[in-house]
Chains A and B, each alone.
Chain A
Amino acid sequence: MSEKLYLYPIWLRVWHAINALVILILIATGISLQYSDANFELLKFDISVTFHNIAGYIMAINYLFFVIANFKTGNVRFYRIKLKGLIKKLIKQANYYAFGMFKGEKTPYPITKDRKFNPLQKVTYVFFMFVIVPFLIVSGLALLFPEFIIPRVAGFSGIQLTAMLHAATGFLISLFLVIHIYISTTGKPISANFKSIVNGYHE
Chain B
Amino acid sequence: MFNKSFLSITLLITLCCVFNVMVASETAEKVPAKFEENKHCFQCHSQQFYTFDNPVSEKKERKAMNPNFVYNPQEFYKGVHRNFACTDCHAPEYESFPHNAELRLEPKYACIDCHGGDPEYEKYHFEAVEEDFNKSVHATRHSEDFTCWMCHDPHSYRPMTHGDHTITEIVTYHNNTCKRCHNNSYNFQLISDSLKPALESIHEFLPNFELHFASVRCIECHTSELDTLWVHHNILPKEEARRNCVECHSSNTVLLGSLYKYQNLEVRKSRGFVNSAILNEAYLIGANRNEYVNLLSFIIFGLTLAGIAFHIILRILKK
Contact = CB atoms under 8 A, between A and B. Distances in A.
B49 interface: no
B281 A38 contact: no
A174 B208 CA distance: 27
A146 B308 contact: no
Nearest to A144: B208
A62 interface: no
Interface string B229-259: 0000000000000001111011110000000
B56 interface: no
A36 B315 contact: no
Nearest to A174: B301
Most A CB within 10 A of own CB, among B211, B249, B281, B293: B249
A182 B280 CA distance: 41
Contacts of A101: 315
Contact of A163 (B246, B280, B285): B285
Interface residues of A, number: 33
Contacts of B252: 37-38
Contacts of A33: 249, 285-286
B311 interface: yes
Interface in A95-137: 97, 101-103
B250 A37 contact: yes
A25 to B, nearest CB: 17
A3 interface: no
Contacts of A175: 300-301, 304
Interface string A141-163: 00000110000000111011011
Interface residues of B, number: 34
Nearest to A163: B283
A38 B283 contact: no
A118 B244 CA distance: 49
Interface string A14-44: 0000000000000000000111111001000
Contact of A178 (B205, B279, B283, B304): B304
Contacts, number: 82
B301 A157 contact: no
Interface in B270-319: 279-283, 285-286, 288-290, 293, 297, 300-301, 304-305, 308, 311, 314-315, 318
Contact of B285 (A36, A156, A178, A179): A36
B208 A146 contact: yes
A69 interface: no
Contacts of A173: none
Interface string A49-69: 110010000000000000000
A171 interface: yes
9 contacts: A36-B250, A36-B286, A37-B286, A49-B207, A102-B318, A147-B210, A157-B282, A157-B283, A171-B300
Interface of B: 205, 207-208, 210-211, 244-247, 249-252, 279-283, 285-286, 288-290, 293, 297, 300-301, 304-305, 308, 311, 314-315, 318
Given A38-B250, A45-B244, A49-B245, 18 more contacts: A34-B289, A35-B289, A36-B245, A36-B249, A37-B246, A37-B286, A45-B245, A45-B249, A102-B315, A146-B211, A156-B279, A157-B279, A157-B282, A160-B279, A160-B282, A162-B283, A178-B301, A178-B304
